[in-house]
Structure 1
Amino acid sequence: MISADDPDLVVVVESCDDAEAASAVLERSSGWRPEEPAVLRHHLSLPSDAINTARALLAQDGWELRPAEGPGADDRPDLAGFVAVRVQKLDALHCSQESSRMASLAQRHGGRAVGWDALQPAPN
């Protein structure tokens, strides 16, 4: 099993366009290995007063909410960048469902979903 903290992980697929189908995003990836687990990361911008609530809601389904590395994805000073992280098998259906869920969660709490990516160990 892989860990979200594995230093050998590399981004194998990413999407910042919520209008593009997850199936198309996965299909165009040359590095994604569908038979192997991946670390799925949803990039979120959230206001500080929503962080604890979002963290608790996400934890119910095995997600961990972490501060994003580097500057936030939004130019709004009231929002900070976060990533919701979980190890799972990656497929188009679950990516779509989780993207929708993340967008809903962020919107309900005054933030926004910025996009998603997935990491897997670099091929040997």
Structure 2
Amino acid sequence: MSFFDRVRDLLRKRDEPVLTVDAEGVAVVAEAFDVAEADSAVLARSHRWRAAEPAILRHHLVLPPDRVTEAAAVLAQDGWELRPEPSAGGPVRVHALRVQKLDALHCAQERARMAGLAQRLDGDWLGWDALQPMGLGGTGRDG
């Protein structure tokens, strides 16, 4: 690869949009809400997931209201953002979000971590899904 090819590639990457947890135009490309299904199987059956591109990994948890701040502090250490859904009292459903490239190993590690955290905080881990931009490198189709 020549010097000019490398410069061209760097300039192309600089112009690519950066994915954030607040990105618009994203859609669920993989989801795992069955504890018996392996993360590798989830990713293998997904026709929309693009392995070479980053995704928003979103874990769904239910936590006691008085433990949400603690969970947010623990997760923030590794770049996770915790967002609670509006609640009228009782357990709070929260989403832990982070942008990353997905693979089966990292999905399984994060699943175990989130389930362990939820259990330590007297909550429950419900599952995860992954979102990627539609129309920005992908077809946005299932097929």
TM-score normalised according to structure 1 size: 0.91
Counterparts of 2:85 and 2:105, CA distance in 1: 25
In structure 1, the partner of 2:37 is 20
Identity of aligned residues (%): 57
Unaligned runs of 5+ in 2: 1-17
- 1:29 paired with 2:41, answer no
Counterparts of 1:99 and 1:20, CA distance in 2: 12
The ranges of structure 1 where at least 4 consecutive aligned residues each deviate by more than 6 angstroms after the TM superposition are none
- 1:107 paired with 2:124, answer no
1:88 to partner: Cα distance: 0.2
What RMSD in Å do the two structures reach over aligned CA positions? 1.6
- 1:122 paired with 2:134, answer yes
In the alignment of these two chains, the number of paired residues is 119
Rg (Cα) greater in structure: 2
Where is the helix percentage greater, Structure 1 or Structure 2? 2
Where is the strand percentage greater, Structure 1 or Structure 2? 1
Counterparts of 2:38 and 2:117, CA distance in 1: 20
Larger RCO of the pair (alpha carbons < 8 Å, separation 6+): 1
Counterparts of 1:28 and 1:68, CA distance in 2: 29
Question: 2:69 corresponds to which letter in structure 1?
Answer: N
In structure 2, the partner of 1:60 is 77
Counterparts of 1:117 and 1:108, CA distance in 2: 22
Unaligned runs of 5+ in 1: 72-76
TM-score normalised according to structure 2 size: 0.79
